[in-house]
Amino acid sequence: MVTQLLRVCCNRANYTQGQTIEIRVLLTSNHGGKFNFRICPRQTDLTDACFGSNYLTRVDNGQRDTWLTSQDNWVMQYRLPADVSCPNGCVLQWWWMSMQSCVEQGCNPAYCGEYANGRNVVYGSNPGWCYIASGKPEFFANCADIRIMPSGTQPGGDPAPPPTPPPSPAPPATPPPASENQDDNYAQVLGYSWLFYEAQQSGALPAWNRLRYGSSSAEAGLGYRKNAHLNDGADIGKDLSGGWYDAGDQIKCPHPMGWTLANMALSALEYKDTYIMFGEWENAKRGISWGVDWMVKAHVTASDAPSANVFVAQVSNEGDHSFFGRPEHNPTPRPTVLVNSATGGADIAGEYAAAFAAAACVFKDDGNASYAAMLFKRAEQAFAFATEPANQKNYAASGWMAYKTYSWEGWKAHLAWAAAFMCKYSPAYCPAAEQWWNTARTSTLGTSFGYDWDSVLPGAAAVLATLNTGVSAAARDWLETFVMGKWQNTNSRCPAAPYSTVCYTAKGLAWYSEWGTLRNTNNAIFLAALMGKNGATPASRQQHACWARRQMRYALGSWGSDRSYVIGYGPNWPKQPHHRQSACSATYNEPCVLSNGGTCCAGESGTGAGGCCDSANFMAPHPALITLYGGLVGGPDQNDVYPDVRNDYKMSEVAVDYNAGLTGGSAGLAYLLTTGALTSCGAGPGVPPPSTPPSPGPGTSPSPPPPGNPPPSPTPPAPQPPSGPCSVTVAEWSKCGGQDSACPAAAGSCTDAPWPNYCCPSGQSCQRDNGWWWACRQGSAPPPATPSSPSPPPAAASPSPPPSNPPAAISPSPSPSPSPRPPSPSPSPSPSPSPSPSPRPPSVPPGTCISTVAPWTVCGGLNNNCPANVASCQDAAWPGYCCSSGFSCTRDNSWWWMCTPNPTPPPPPVAPTCSNAVQAWSQCGGRSSGCPAAAGSCTDAPWQNHCCASGYACMRDNEWWWACKPAATTSSTAAALVIAATSGEVSIAASTAAAALRRQLVDILVAEAPSRAPVSGPVFVTLTLNRQGDPVSGAKVYVQVTSVSKGKSTTTTLAGVTKKDGTAKIAIPPRARGASGSRSIVEAFTTDARAQGAKAGVAVLSSRKRLTWTG
């Protein structure tokens, strides 16, 4: 059976006479021959004679026939007949004369080539002439309904009659801006994204690499890549050449590489026809094969005995970051780090299994059975290693690693991700996929909504949603309602703590992290595009598709933002990516001499064009000399600001894992565009929020959802619990039904319904909150919800402490995201008011305290276990609940209000008069071969006598570069907390702060310093570094003391190392102090901190503490 696919100008089938249109043809089985297009009006008989009198002609050559070559997909411009109009409709017919069995005689060789000699150029055969020696040809047809309007008429349809005048004058409706209904060239973005992977290739470059040195093409520009690092793996006697460099450096990291490969393969599996249509299928297969072939090499010992398997965890080390030259000249040692039975490491082995299994699915579907079988065998071996009980843990290296799994349960999600792909390849692994999904989903990972190499559970849900397993529906529900609900909640406005939630910037970006936020957003775009195809309902599919489109258009600079963040595409794209080789010239002449952390080649000097390829060149502000087409940079801050500074690795770096979401998202949007799913988006979900976001106070109604958010379908009538005796009586407000991975034995099966054998108390019934939670409430079950007069959605909030129950599914209320969960298992709010338990006490008079609440303890919010002395637990501070002195009840989310310290006004800033004022984003510290004289010595610290402009602080990027960056964005964790208090207050505050914030933060740095101290005598600053509430020992910490004496400001940097209890006590020497009556500014920082999604250490800079010196 031969199948064909006809796409006619984006499915918008309304044209005018003589108009030029684009037509795309995809052949899935090419037999050669020719095809053409012809038209017949519907008001006539659809006969061959009618079609034969109205052929379309090609714009490029004026011909009507296209003679087939080995090319399978065609994109052509055709001109409609100037004398044909059909306001009531025409049929556009594609007519293919296949020449497998014979060749048509008499064609013009200028257009048909070898067909004129009787040769089928697709098969390379000479079957003979049609109707003479070899019989008749085969014919195939495909049709599309179109409408052609007379010239002078708008293509949208017939001229409309004049409108009836309204009773009173009213201004006409303003149509949406044209840009809202235009789409980016997603196919071009997709092609560029694959080209970026070729830029990152290591080893002996393949012949098909379009960027090889000396080559030149319109799509890739001047080639600049050479073979490099051919001896990788020599230290362990293995060939580890090949693969991809991770980012702007030249390290190779299988952890993110495996995750990237699995996403590339998922994109190819879900959108294969789109890849073929736009000519990217071969590039996709080559790219996936290149990466996975290196992963096969990096599986250095492959065995059916699980414990015998050995995998590469990393090639190279931190020394690579000190080299700023081209990869072929990099002399730094490249040690190989291994994962084996002695180290464990289900997280890394799981990514090997996921990459192998995902790629096996691609090549199995493409007909390469033997290659697919080899890859799947490797997947089985990696999965067996990872699931060995002794290996079920995160890999913990003794040395430096660019990537480490942050959550202690992270390995569970990596196994769920791998098992989902293995189930996709072989149903025999579907029970394992169900098991590991349930294991990961019910762990602390169940509240993860970020998606990247470290947080992979949303990806596992997306793969399961394409299958028919026992958990597929639950996985899709969790992904659509919880994960995408977080991302699509436009009521959540920036600023917000990084990694704690998704907030919307003023220009409409869904912002998540300060380290490569567009990496996370594009990954979410890919998830949304997958749900735009595989979502549960038409309404949800439409919502996901339009949200993905809106966010992608921000990233591409076509709507909302004024710039593109994809190099080489769109307006004002990044010119200084954090990438070593791109800062250097594309060509050079040997010999090249190692110099200044790079090389200087023959004729090179200085920086920029014609300059050396070294650290000075990398730090210089010139635009990149090589265009990294398709590279996605990290992206802007919460104010939509993108400095485009090369050395800002958080905002400007590119990486293979950054591009994974861009590749999948652009392929998904190209698919959704060609299927017509984007035609009705308009402004759609995800429009930019108002410039002044609303600030609802306690008890106020939140804003309604933005226009374009389609409400969920009404919930069907709730099933009633079975009549008859029951074995379990459920208490009021407790769970009596719903899906549950830990289903009680008495329930039999836990579905989205009341559980069998479970009964509620007299006068109550089991009522549905969402698919995961049914609870006993007073009254009978409510009638089916109707879409009329919906309640407004809840205001956005930061996450609550994770409960043990699964997240909410879509409820009848048209909320853009599930309700935030309370700190203990309890159902989400009902869409209609439910009777509260009675009796309840009367309201407490204002100003009356009935309970004093300890610091950091709950003092308000919704609560289904509402305290007996509170009349009603609402999204507000509870009446009569008073916080301790110095604390007030503040909102964390609708379920959780707690007593937090009262804000104190910041101390007045010191106006230093430095000998050297440093401009924003310029160097203010670090090692330097050209050390300024005023700095004294240039070490890995801020330079002496150098001060940043007001509002900026000197922050560390690496040992060679400290730069003046905005002080408001100095923290690379969810928040950096500094408690400035007297010694008597610190002990209480420091112990409670970490416990209160540990659900959001990775690291917390606490600094203790006196408010007043004597000029003479010992003065100490005590620093405490906690990680997830536990002390961090052996971390380098620093204190900066800025003092003003006689009108001159001096800054002294003091170092220390934390002890086992996570503390470091650092003395302020006399030279760093001011005169009696003067003030000093004390601030602390560390570069050994951790942040979710971050590679290696990050900088955490504290707030400033004012210290007054006494006599």
pLDDT tens figures, 91-101: 898 888 888 88
Q: 73-77, 866-870, 888-892, 992-996 — which is least confidently predicted? A: 992-996
Which of 452, 644, 648, 1083 is catalytic? The answer is 644
Given pLDDT bands bounded at 50, 70 and 90, which one contains residue 135? Answer: low
Given pLDDT bands bounded at 50, 70 and 90, which one contains residue 330? Answer: very high
Asked if the peptide bond before residue 591 counts as cis, ω within 30 degrees of 0, the response is yes
Q: What is the mean pLDDT of residues 446-455?
A: 92
Tell me the residue ranges of DSSP E strands in 403-556. 503-504, 510-511
Q: What is the mean pLDDT of residues 130-134?
A: 64
Residue 1036, pLDDT score: 84
Q: Does 248 map to a domain?
A: yes
More confident residue, 364 or 79: 364
Query: What sections of 512-655 are H helices per DSSP?
Result: 517-534, 538-555, 615-619, 649-652
Say if strands 1020-1027 and 1063-1067 run parallel, antiparallel, or are unpaired: antiparallel
Asked if the peptide bond before residue 495 counts as cis, ω within 30 degrees of 0, the response is yes
Residue 588, pLDDT score: 95
CATH code of 22's domain: 2.60.40.1930
- What tens digit of pLDDT does each residue of 809-836 get? 322 222 233 322 223 223 233 333 333 3
Q: How far is the C-alpha of 896 from the C-alpha of 878, rounded, in Å?
A: 11
Q: What is the mean pLDDT of residues 858-874?
A: 77
More confident residue, 14 or 259: 259
Question: Nearest-CA neighbor of 144 among 264, 12, 244?
Answer: 12
Residue 653 annotated in active site: yes
Q: What is the mean pLDDT of residues 265-282?
A: 94
Q: How far is the C-alpha of 797 from the C-alpha of 795, rounded, in Å?
A: 6
Q: What is the mean pLDDT of residues 767-781?
A: 71
Q: Does 639 map to a domain?
A: yes
DSSP-derived 3-state class of residue 267: helix
**Share above pLDDT 70 across residues of the chain, in percent, rounded to a whole number:** 77
Query: Half-sphere exposure of 886 toward its Cβ, with a 13 Å CA cutoff?
Result: 9
Q: How far is the C-alpha of 205 from the C-alpha of 224, rounded, in Å?
A: 12
Phi, psi at residue 45, to the nearest 5°? -70, 135
Supply the Cα-derived Rg of the chain in whole angstroms: 32
Q: Does 695 map to a domain?
A: no
Q: Does 785 map to a domain?
A: no
DSSP-derived 3-state class of residue 925: strand
Residue 447 confidence (pLDDT) above 90 = no
Q: Does 527 map to a domain?
A: yes
What letter would DSSP give residue 621? Answer: -
Q: What is the mean pLDDT of residues 358-362?
A: 98
Residue 967, pLDDT score: 56
Contact call for residues 399 and 382 (beta carbons, < 8 A): no
User: Hey, CA dihedral for 892, 898, 904, 906, is it positive or negative?
Assistant: negative
More confident residue, 1054 or 473: 473
Contact call for residues 927 and 938 (beta carbons, < 8 A): yes
- What tens digit of pLDDT does each residue of 543-594 get? 999 999 999 999 999 888 889 999 999 999 999 999 999 999 999 999 999 9
More confident residue, 841 or 243: 243
Q: How far is the C-alpha of 595 from the C-alpha of 153, rounded, in Å?
A: 69
Contact call for residues 920 and 879 (beta carbons, < 8 A): no
One domain for residues 891 and 997: no
One domain for residues 408 and 489: yes
Phi, psi at residue 925, to the nearest 5°? -175, 175
One domain for residues 749 and 653: no
Q: How far is the C-alpha of 900 from the C-alpha of 989, rounded, in Å?
A: 10
Alpha-carbon separation of residue 1061 from 266, 547, 948, 1022, 1025 (angstroms): 45, 47, 34, 12, 9
One domain for residues 464 and 547: yes
One domain for residues 551 and 419: yes
- What tens digit of pLDDT does each residue of 1057-1067 get? 888 888 899 99
Residue 770 confidence (pLDDT) above 70 = no
Q: 82-86, 440-444, 1099-1103 — which is least confidently predicted? A: 1099-1103
Q: Does 307 map to a domain?
A: yes
Q: Does 801 map to a domain?
A: no
One domain for residues 639 and 763: no
Asked if the peptide bond before residue 839 counts as cis, ω within 30 degrees of 0, the response is yes
Residue 741, pLDDT score: 61
Residue 48 confidence (pLDDT) above 90 = no
Residue 347 annotated in active site: no
Residue 320, pLDDT score: 93
Q: 44-58, 246-260, 598-612, 737-751 — which is least confidently predicted? A: 737-751
What letter would DSSP give residue 693? Answer: -
Q: What is the dihedral of CA 107, 112, 117, 122, to 10 degrees?
A: -130
Residue 939 confidence (pLDDT) above 80 = yes
Given pLDDT bands bounded at 50, 70 and 90, which one contains residue 656? Answer: very high
Residue 360 confidence (pLDDT) above 70 = yes
Residue 212, pLDDT score: 94
Q: What is the mean pLDDT of residues 757-785?
A: 72
Residue 906, pLDDT score: 45
One domain for residues 38 and 150: yes
Residue 612 confidence (pLDDT) above 60 = yes
Q: What does the mean pLDDT of the chain come to?
A: 78
Residues β-bridged to residue 96: 35, 140
- What tens digit of pLDDT does each residue of 222-257 get? 899 999 999 999 999 999 999 999 999 999 999 999
Q: What is the mean pLDDT of residues 181-191?
A: 83
Identify the top-confidence range among 104-108, 119-123, 275-279: 275-279
Say if strands 728-729 and 1079-1089 run parallel, antiparallel, or are unpaired: unpaired
More confident residue, 372 or 84: 372
One domain for residues 552 and 652: yes
Q: 365-369, 407-411, 882-886, 946-950 — which is least confidently predicted? A: 946-950
Residue 307 confidence (pLDDT) above 70 = yes
3-state SS of 630-648? CCECCCCCCCCCCCCCCCC
Say if strands 916-918 and 946-948 run parallel, antiparallel, or are unpaired: parallel
Residues β-bridged to residue 1006: 1024
Contact call for residues 632 and 518 (beta carbons, < 8 A): yes
One domain for residues 591 and 576: no
**Share above pLDDT 90 across residues of the chain, in percent, rounded to a whole number:** 40
CATH code of 1023's domain: 2.60.40.10
Residue 286, pLDDT score: 96
One domain for residues 882 and 954: no
Question: Nearest-CA neighbor of 718 among 785, 789, 808, 805?
Answer: 785
Q: 296-305, 662-671, 910-919, 975-984 — which is least confidently predicted? A: 975-984
Number of domains into which the chain is organized:
6
pTM of the model: 0.57
Residues contacting 585, CB < 8 A, separation 6+: 604, 609, 610, 611, 613, 625, 626
Choosing from 156, 178, 203, the residue where a domain stops is: 156
Which of 246, 452, 653, 1088 is catalytic? The answer is 653
Residue 799, pLDDT score: 33
More confident residue, 302 or 28: 302
Residue 54, pLDDT score: 86
Q: How far is the C-alpha of 760 from the C-alpha of 776, rounded, in Å?
A: 6
Q: Does 808 map to a domain?
A: no
One domain for residues 463 and 358: yes
Q: How far is the C-alpha of 702 from the C-alpha of 493, rounded, in Å?
A: 13
Domain enclosing residue 855, as ranges: 851-901
Residue 220 confidence (pLDDT) above 80 = no
Contact call for residues 246 and 656 (beta carbons, < 8 A): yes
Q: How far is the C-alpha of 329 from the C-alpha of 949, rounded, in Å?
A: 38
One domain for residues 1000 and 1092: yes
What are the b/e assignments for 671-693, b being 16+ CB within 10 Å?
bbbbbebbeebebbbbbbbeeeb
Identify the top-confidence range among 128-137, 368-377, 799-808, 1047-1056: 368-377
Q: What is the mean pLDDT of residues 268-286?
A: 94
Residue 162 confidence (pLDDT) above 50 = no
